[in-house]
Structure 1
Amino acid sequence: MKAVIHYGVSGINGISIQNVKKDKPKPGNVQVRIKAAGLNHRDLFLMKERKEDLDKPVIPGSDGAGIVEAVGDGVQHIQVGDEVIINPTLNWMHASNVPENLEILGIPTDGTFAESAIIPAENVEKKPSFLSWEEAGVLPLAALTAFRALFTRGQVRKGEHVLIPGIGGGVATYALTMAKAIGAKVTVTSRSEEKLKHALEMGADNAIYSNSDWNKSLKGELVDLIIDSIGPAVFPKFLSVLRPGGRIVQFGRTTGDQVEISLSLFFRNQFSFLATSMGSKEEFKDMLHFIEEHRIRPVIDQVYPLDKAVQAFKRMEEGNQFGNICLKI
């Protein structure tokens, strides 16, 4: 079968398209004929930071959807021919029981950027029928991350004001649509006028430039919840626009790992700083129910064939996309 392979060199330069052996599913697993898969910044980070075992070829990719083509022994609830969507979080069943070591499909294990992938049976769910293959293929990781960030960790409520810095990525666009679906007010930021315009078309209430004075842009209005993946480049602005008792939910580090916080300002205003990453099987099922109830469709930036995976990753690395980048397989 044809697959995206990473080995030999760190980063995008280690990507090639090769024919690899197609294995059979072991007990408890299913084999899915992948119809579409989504790119994530996690893929870029892992390929860039991969230093050890570079001589071992691995198939990246966490997102995907497709048709079950074989089932391993002991699998009862899934049949050949089922249309499924893949939950990329491994061995995490319940939202409250965060695993000590979070495991995600794709690097160091083989992932979804291939014509076929072997997945634990507990990690596939019925594909929402109203979604196209491309929409279902890009949904899982980013939508699950946004859902947990907003609802499990952020506890967002109707009427609250949510700030989403750096609109354009998959998680940010899901967070915008999900927050609006429950009646929250949403402000987004970006350096791109085009992305700000697109966000307003999607329903954002305010769209402000990342390098502006946020207090002036918001006319002094404070926010209740900030959902952020950028980090140091914008973090210093957060505490000046966050309402006393407000929450920050952090799920990424696009501009670095280290931030400085004024502890006196932080505890005097009784802010909450919360972390999140991915989500559980329980939350994945709740997320699917939520997007079906509200008919939320992923925003797809561009669709590339499998053999154009390098070009797809270059677009993500350049940060030009608005929404999800898809590989059609």
Structure 2
Amino acid sequence: MVSVILSENATTQTKYKYGLELKENPVGEFSADKSQALVKVQAAALNHRDVWILKGMYPGIKVGSVLGSDAVGYVIKKSDHNDDTIHIGQRVLLNPGSGWVSDERGPEQTFGILGLLPWAGTLTEEPVWMDMEELVACPTHLSNAEAAALPLAGLTAYRALFTKGLVKKDEHVLITGIGGGVALCALQFAVAAGAHVYVTSSSATKIEKAIALGAKGGVNYKDDDFIRELKKLLGKNLLSAVIDGAGGPLYGVYPKVMRTGGIIVNYGQTASVKGVTYSMSHVLKNIDIRGSTMGSRTEFKEMVKFVEENKIKPVVSRVWDGLNAKALDEAIATMSNSEQFGKLVIQISDPSTSPKL
């Protein structure tokens, strides 16, 4: 059994500052004083975070880490602690974060994310030890690929949209960069909550696909008349929230289409490392800019419940069968080129081998 390990001596074709090795990484034993479960990963999804790590553009990089933050799997062993919420044979989602229990402002302890040491990674054929409190029963309406696509993107979107953006029914919301996992989850969640959603993309095809998922319309953020086209879509309405993962210069024009007291939630700044504009136009309209990164264990559980109640299925762009070099190279190239609409998933174990519950 192999794991995908961050290395300076790549054995795959994916080579940036760091590369990937596929090799054995035997699982350790659990700590007897902890409530832990051993999970066999069925499917795992990639994130842009994995590419940033490969490029050396992410904090806390440690060679030898097993990559991967998203996964669905089933419990094959658990410690003796009494915990009736998790049982052997159960299909579960792994909370991608650790050290953040419930504080809405931020983590109470040192916050870590699966996929970098000392935390486990999910791109592995080896079983993974997880604290049982970080496991949540997987909604039964999700396939393994859809389930693997949910954890990190779903958690990030849920917190950005509801905890930070305070989005409610009938409000008007702009979601930027549609096509990425977080943006698509935010679109699906906002539509399920009854909000009116608009999107941005440089791809007309992606905008059309977003409309098919419930968006009211979309605009090309590269067009010179971007804000004028957005105003046309909105009519007499104004945005209550902007959910954004790009940053960049558009922040300077958002007040033109936002209500007084509107909220811009930023969960990433891929467009520019120079930050964003916050001017007197924002101040005079009482517009908040709020940073948001993933979320707490409480928000993770709330998100999964929301997905289950609304029978939401995360958008999966492509699935590869088997954890191998070809699948990894193709998946990372697809993500690096922003070719996907939805999540990129690797099916690690044959679904027919999973326990029948």
Query: Which category describes the TM-score, using the shorter chain as reference length?
Result: over 0.9
1:184 Cα offset (Å): 0.7
| 1:155 aligned onto 2:166 | yes
Partner of 1:229: 245
Partner of 1:310: 329
Normalised by the length of structure 2, the TM-score is 0.86
Identify which of 19, 24, 39 aligns with 1:14.
19
Identify which of 102, 105, 113 aligns with 1:104.
113
- Give distance in 2, aligned partners of 1:199 and 1:121: 36
Q: Deviations over 1:250-289 (max 9, x none)?
A: 0011123323425211211111111111111111111111
1:66 Cα offset (Å): 0.6
SS at match of 1:64: strand
Partner of 1:138: 149
- Give distance in 1, aligned partners of 2:112 and 2:259: 35
Identify which of 80, 89, 92 aligns with 1:84.
92
Partner of 1:42: 49
1:214 aligned partner, one-letter code: F
1:72 Cα offset (Å): 3.0
- Give distance in 1, aligned partners of 2:147 and 2:254: 33
The alpha-carbon distance between structure 1 residues 260 and 124, as it changes in their structure 2 partners (threshold 3 A), is closer
| 1:113 aligned onto 2:146 | no
2:95 aligned partner, one-letter code: N
Partner of 1:126: 137
1:297 Cα offset (Å): 0.3
Q: Deviations over 1:284-307 (max 9, x none)?
A: 111111111111001000012321
1:306 aligned partner, one-letter code: L
2:134 aligned partner, one-letter code: N
Query: What is the root-mean-square deviation of aligned Cα atoms in Å?
Result: 2.1
Partner of 2:305: 289
1:56 Cα offset (Å): 3.9
| 1:323 aligned onto 2:342 | yes
2:124 aligned partner, one-letter code: A
The alpha-carbon distance between structure 1 residues 262 and 82, as it changes in their structure 2 partners (threshold 3 A), is closer
1:241 Cα offset (Å): 2.3
Q: Deviations over 1:20-43 (max 9, x none)?
A: 223333332221110001111122
Partner of 1:189: 200
- Give distance in 2, aligned partners of 1:250 and 1:154: 10
| 1:253 aligned onto 2:269 | yes
SS at match of 1:306: coil
1:73 Cα offset (Å): 4.4
1:194 Cα offset (Å): 1.1
1:179 Cα offset (Å): 0.6
- Indicate if the aligned counterparts of 1:6 and 1:57 stay in contact, CA closer than 8 A: yes
2:230 aligned partner, one-letter code: L
Q: Number of matched residues?
A: 329
Normalised by the length of structure 1, the TM-score is 0.93
2:152 aligned partner, one-letter code: L
Q: Which moved more, 1:213-222 or 1:172-181?
A: 213-222
| 1:5 aligned onto 2:10 | no
The alpha-carbon distance between structure 1 residues 94 and 309, as it changes in their structure 2 partners (threshold 3 A), is same
Q: Which moved more, 1:311-320 or 1:238-247?
A: 238-247
- Give distance in 2, aligned partners of 1:102 and 1:326: 25
Partner of 1:67: 74
SS at match of 1:311: helix
1:111 aligned partner, one-letter code: G
1:216 aligned partner, one-letter code: R
1:6 aligned partner, one-letter code: L
2:202 aligned partner, one-letter code: R
- Give distance in 2, aligned partners of 1:53 and 1:273: 26
| 1:168 aligned onto 2:179 | yes
Q: Which moved more, 1:208-217 or 1:180-189?
A: 208-217
Q: Deviations over 1:205-243 (max 9, x none)?
A: 011111122332123533110000011154333233222
Structure 1 gaps, min length 5: none
1:4 aligned partner, one-letter code: V
SS at match of 2:76: strand
Identify which of 201, 218, 222 aligns with 2:230.
218
Q: Deviations over 1:1-36 (max 9, x none)?
A: 211111116747511211222333333222111000
- Indicate if the aligned counterparts of 2:249 and 2:277 stay in contact, CA closer than 8 A: no
Q: Which moved more, 1:249-258 or 1:48-57?
A: 48-57
The alpha-carbon distance between structure 1 residues 189 and 51, as it changes in their structure 2 partners (threshold 3 A), is closer
1:159 aligned partner, one-letter code: D
Identify which of 200, 212, 221 aligns with 2:211.
200
SS at match of 1:49: coil
